[in-house]
Amino acid sequence: MIRDLEGLGRRLGRPSRRLPFSPPQRRRWRRRNSTRTDRPPAPAEAEAVARSGPGPWAPRAARVMRTEAEAAGPPLEPGDFVQLPVPVIQQLYHWDCGLACSRMVLRYLGQLDDSEFERALQKLQLTRSIWTIDLAYLMHHFGVRHRFCTQTLGVDKGYKNQSFYRKHFDTEETRVNQLFAQAKAWKVLVEKCTVSVKDIQAHLAQGHVAIVLVNSGVLHCDLCSSPVKYCCFTPSGHHCFCRTPDYQGHFIVLRGYNRATGCIFYNNPAYADRMCSTSISNFEEARTSYGTDEDILFVYLDS
């Protein structure tokens, strides 16, 4: 039959076309003679697709990611979320939370040497009673740029009746007041000023950290399911309970925030294995409690 068709074509003066009937030939013939409807877009079309979103040629994963991003709402702007890689170091005793925070900061800055740190403690005579001004002098000893902000330049005499301060108040009042008086001569930067949450967030957004004095009886971590096991205001190893009525001073290290959820990230030296988080309102309540003087020690990365 094929031969007859070829002969008929020659008799009519028309060229014959042998249809390819082997599978490979059939596929080639179809590719040459068919019109593709699933072709990829031309450059101009691809640009339009990019503006309108992933089309049918985009991988399914890209389309899913676009859908999930749209459902999550607008993306966070730079500075809306900060979480700095500050290492967690646990305090060794019930009184050395400030020293543990200083170790975290120095390790974050790449300046922690354990033997040098111990020598610094001996030189500055830092023993069982640590004040924020002590930590400022400690940062100065290591050449770390800092800024200590407080509401009281010295010791508030009203703290003498506070159970937290009562034991060491008489012996510490003269020493601490002397440190404040000599701060300028030693180039330890101390300022009497008020600090806002926006100031703190702006500091953290640049990669810097801060040591903050808080009322541990008020501070509540939203990520921890159990109360702090070791506190700076109970004998080492004893359990403590949150929301105690009296002031309980404790140092923490701030390491970030999330503006979308309104939380602050921090390291609590009472723990050795976690980062903590609390709401801005709880953080403000804890750091402005009577007894803290709203002490905050800003530490700078470019030290």
CATH label of the domain that carries residue 166: 3.90.70.10
How many percent of the chain have pLDDT more than 90?
56
Give a yes or no: residue 26 inside a domain: no
Give a yes or no: residue 165 inside a domain: yes
Residue 303: pLDDT band with limits 50, 70, 90: low
- The structure tokens listed for 82 are 């900060």
Return the pLDDT at 20: 47
Better-scored residue on pLDDT, 8 or 293: 293
Give a yes or no: residue 267 inside a domain: yes
Average pLDDT on 16-22 reads 51
219 burial via Cβ count (<10 Å: 0-12, 13-18, 19+): buried
Residue 149: pLDDT band with limits 50, 70, 90: very high
Return the pLDDT at 235: 41
**E strands present in 220-271:** 249-258, 263-267
Residues with Cβ within 8 Å of 130's Cβ and at least 6 positions away in sequence, in order, are 95, 96, 97, 98, 99, 251
Cα-Cα-Cα-Cα dihedral sign, residues 243, 249, 254, 259: positive
- The structure tokens listed for 95 are 């009184």
Alpha-carbon distance of 4 to 295, in angstroms, equals 104
Alpha-carbon distance of 218 to 247, in angstroms, equals 8
**Domain total of the chain:** 1
118 burial via Cβ count (<10 Å: 0-12, 13-18, 19+): exposed
Domain of 177 in residue numbering reads as: 81-299
Give a yes or no: residue 68 inside a domain: no
Alpha-carbon distance of 95 to 267, in angstroms, equals 17
Least confident of 25-29, 63-67, 145-149, 188-192: 63-67
Better-scored residue on pLDDT, 45 or 177: 177
Average pLDDT on 182-200 reads 97
Residue 16: pLDDT band with limits 50, 70, 90: very low
pTM tops 0.75:
no
User: Has residue 99 got a pLDDT over 70?
Assistant: yes
Of 287, 266, 285, the closest CA to residue 222 belongs to: 266
User: Has residue 50 got a pLDDT over 80?
Assistant: no
Return the pLDDT at 130: 94
User: Has residue 228 got a pLDDT over 80?
Assistant: no
User: Has residue 23 got a pLDDT over 70?
Assistant: no
Least confident of 120-124, 209-213, 245-249: 245-249
User: Has residue 230 got a pLDDT over 50?
Assistant: no
Of 188, 211, 184, the closest CA to residue 130 belongs to: 211
Mean pLDDT, the chain, as a whole number?
A: 79
- The structure tokens listed for 264 are 């602050």
User: Has residue 163 got a pLDDT over 90?
Assistant: no
Better-scored residue on pLDDT, 119 or 165: 119
Beta-carbon count within 10 A of 151 CB:
14
Give a yes or no: residue 50 inside a domain: no
Give a yes or no: residue 236 inside a domain: yes
Of 195, 125, 191, the closest CA to residue 152 belongs to: 191
Alpha-carbon distance of 102 to 121, in angstroms, equals 11
Give a yes or no: residue 133 inside a domain: yes
Give a yes or no: residue 8 inside a domain: no
Note the residue count of the chain.
303
Beta-carbon count within 10 A of 266 CB:
25
Beta-carbon count within 10 A of 236 CB:
13
User: Has residue 8 got a pLDDT over 80?
Assistant: no
Cα angle: 46, vertex 51, 53; to 5 degrees: 85
Return the pLDDT at 170: 74
Least confident of 34-43, 87-96, 112-121: 34-43
Helix (H) or strand (E) holding 147: strand 146-150
Least confident of 33-47, 59-73, 249-263: 59-73
Q: Write the CA distances from 282 to 137, 217, 289, 294, integer angstroms.
A: 29, 11, 11, 14
Average pLDDT on 185-192 reads 97
Average pLDDT on 155-174 reads 75
User: Has residue 297 got a pLDDT over 70?
Assistant: yes
